[in-house]
């Protein structure tokens, strides 16, 4: 019998609310007793509260210490900054965990993929220190650059600190030990960005010495892109600064057959927010069409985190079985089922498991 838990629920934008409804129904159907504190962030909050990230959202996550979130739309170029990035920063969710595991029945160029992407979540070019071209600050930096920067450049600052790197590196090694993984590969462009990416490597190397049972190596990120496509079996846990981790984890989703099945978690000290890798897929909003698996697998990571590992592993088995059977899957997996119907099939399969 499962324990009761209180969790903040952020439905998000686009297809987020329908995905979240399905996940709620599945968790209720499989006997996970979760009391949801539902709060609104993103475009929908903008309309009601005049801000995409109302204070009550942060308060709720800080109080419950665990949250499940649907994807949130970020306008490109204009409008508000990313709520996803702001949440990670405000709540010090410094490590982003994205496991990428092949499922039987998913059409993909690859099989047997079992990689874990760990991404630093709060600094790097995502720190939000940016100056538009022709601003006073951009002009000052351009002057410091002594001819290295065109005078009409916009500037984004890339901070990478010992503090930020040390905590995410420790998270990656701890994860490797707990989950019986063999190797951590750190990846950056340290040959070019010596003072930031170079520091990232330096700190990872230091932290690695505390974990003698885990092999540690470094790969330049351009080379790693090629190698992940050609020889993914060479890798195990991958550790990145923010920007490379964001891009490479989508590559990971591609290796296992798409964003519809790629889950994620944002981890801090004693606080965690679970969400799929994919975005709000706004063109499918309200169509009951997109795949709930990525958010369900994120919920599976959440159940593990809450200490409900028995329900969590049965949920994964049920998802795996429904995908392998292929009769109740969504369009991206070649099926004709809607979001809701795939969720219902997963609950039915769960109930058949011993």
> Which of helix, strand or coil describes residue 215?
strand
Determine whether 222 is an active site residue: yes
Select from 90-98, 191-199, 275-283, 311-319 the region that touches ligand NAD (CB under 6 A).
275-283
Residues 6+ apart with CB under 8 A from 146: none
CA–CA dist 267, 91 (Å, integer): 9
| Minimum separation from the CB atom of position 332 to ligand NAD (A) | 4
Select from 114-122, 149-157, 164-172, 286-294 the region that touches ligand NAD (CB under 6 A).
286-294
Determine whether 189 is an active site residue: yes
Q: Are 66 and 5 in contact (CB under 8 A)?
A: yes
Q: Is 11 in the site for ligand NAD (CB under 6 A)?
A: no
Q: Is 343 in the site for ligand NAD (CB under 6 A)?
A: no
Q: For the window 172-191, what string marks contact with ligand NAD as x by the rule CB under 6 A?
A: --------------------
CA–CA dist 156, 244 (Å, integer): 16
How big is the chain, counted in residues?
Answer: 354
Q: Are 70 and 10 in contact (CB under 8 A)?
A: yes
Q: Is 22 in the site for ligand NAD (CB under 6 A)?
A: no
* Nearer to ligand NAD among residue 275 and residue 316 (C-beta): 275
Please give the size of the binding site for ligand NAD, defined by CB under 6 A: 18
* Nearer to ligand NAD among residue 216 and residue 263 (C-beta): 263
The tokens for 66 are: 């665990």
Residues 6+ apart with CB under 8 A from 2: 31, 32, 33, 308, 311
Phi and psi torsions of 238, nearest 5°: -115, 135
Q: Is 242 in the site for ligand NAD (CB under 6 A)?
A: no
Output the CA–CA distances (angstroms, integers) from residue 347 to 310, 313, 326, 341, in the order listed: 15, 13, 15, 10
Q: Is 99 in the site for ligand NAD (CB under 6 A)?
A: no
Of 13, 124, 236, 246, which one is the catalytic site residue?
246
Within the chain, residue ranges assigned H as helices are 16-29, 43-49, 55-64, 83-90, 136-144, 162-178, 197-208, 221-230, 242-255, 293-305, 309-325, 339-352
Question: Given candidates 290, 297, 311, 342, which one binds ligand NAD under the rule CB under 6 A?
Answer: 290
Q: Which of 191, 120, 192 lies closest to 159 in space, CA to CA?
A: 120
Q: Is 91 in the site for ligand NAD (CB under 6 A)?
A: no
Question: Given candidates 57, 67, 221, 259, which one binds ligand NAD under the rule CB under 6 A?
Answer: 259
| Minimum separation from the CB atom of position 15 to ligand NAD (A) | 7
Q: Are 113 and 102 in contact (CB under 8 A)?
A: yes
Segment 31-90, which members bind ligand NAD (CB under 6 A)?
Answer: 71-74, 84
* Nearer to ligand NAD among residue 281 and residue 306 (C-beta): 281
CA–CA dist 24, 19 (Å, integer): 9
The residue with its CB nearest to ligand NAD is 279
| Minimum separation from the CB atom of position 299 to ligand NAD (A) | 13
Q: Is 263 in the site for ligand NAD (CB under 6 A)?
A: no
Of 13, 24, 124, 126, which one is the catalytic site residue?
126
* Nearer to ligand NAD among residue 93 and residue 281 (C-beta): 281
Q: How do beta strands 155-156 and 237-240 pair?
A: unpaired
Q: Is 198 in the site for ligand NAD (CB under 6 A)?
A: no
| Minimum separation from the CB atom of position 254 to ligand NAD (A) | 11
Active site residues: 126, 189, 222, 246
Site of interaction with ligand NAD (CB under 6 A) = 71-74, 84, 259-260, 275, 278-283, 290-291, 294, 332
């Amino acid at each position: 019998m499962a324990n009761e838990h209180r969790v903040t629920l952020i439905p998000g934008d686009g297809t987020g609310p329908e995905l979240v409804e399905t996940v709620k129904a599945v968790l209720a159907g499989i006997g996970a007793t979760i009391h949801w504190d539902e709060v609104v962030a993103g475009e929908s909050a903008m309309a009601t509260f005049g801000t995409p990230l109302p204070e009550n959202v942060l308060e709720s996550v800080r109080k419950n210490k665990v949250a499940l979130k649907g994807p949130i739309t970020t306008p490109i170029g204009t409008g508000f900054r990313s709520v996803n990035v702001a949440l990670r920063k405000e709540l010090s969710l410094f490590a982003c965990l994205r496991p990428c595991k092949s499922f039987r029945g998913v059409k993909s160029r690859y099989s047997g993929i079992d990689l874990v992407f760990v991404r630093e979540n709060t600094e790097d070019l995502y720190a939000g220190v940016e100056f538009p071209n022709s601003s006073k600050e951009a002009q000052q930096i351009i002057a410091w650059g002594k001819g290295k920067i065109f005078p009409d450049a916009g500037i984004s600052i890339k901070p990478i600190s010992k503090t930020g790197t040390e905590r995410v590196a420790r998270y990656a090694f701890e994860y490797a030990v707990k989950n019986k993984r063999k190797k951590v590969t750190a990846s950056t462009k340290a040959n070019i960005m010596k003072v930031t990416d170079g520091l990232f490597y330096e700190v990872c190397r230091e932290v690695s010495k505390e974990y003698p049972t885990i092999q540690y190596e470094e790969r330049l990120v351009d080379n790693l892109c090629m190698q992940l496509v050609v020889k993914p079996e060479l890798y195990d846990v991958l550790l990145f600064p923010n920007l490379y981790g964001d891009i490479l984890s989508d590559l990971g989703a591609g290796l296992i057959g798409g964003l519809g099945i790629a889950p994620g978690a944002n981890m801090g000290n004693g606080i965690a927010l679970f969400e799929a890798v994919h975005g709000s897929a706004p063109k499918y909003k309200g169509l009951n069409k997109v795949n709930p698996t990525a958010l369900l697998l994120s919920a599976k990571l959440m159940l593990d985190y809450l200490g409900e590992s028995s329900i969590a592993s049965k949920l994964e088995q049920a998802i795996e079985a429904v995908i392998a059977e292929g009769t109740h899957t969504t369009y991206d997996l070649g099926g004709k089922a809607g979001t809701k119907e795939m969720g219902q099939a997963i609950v039915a399969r769960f109930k058949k498991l011993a």
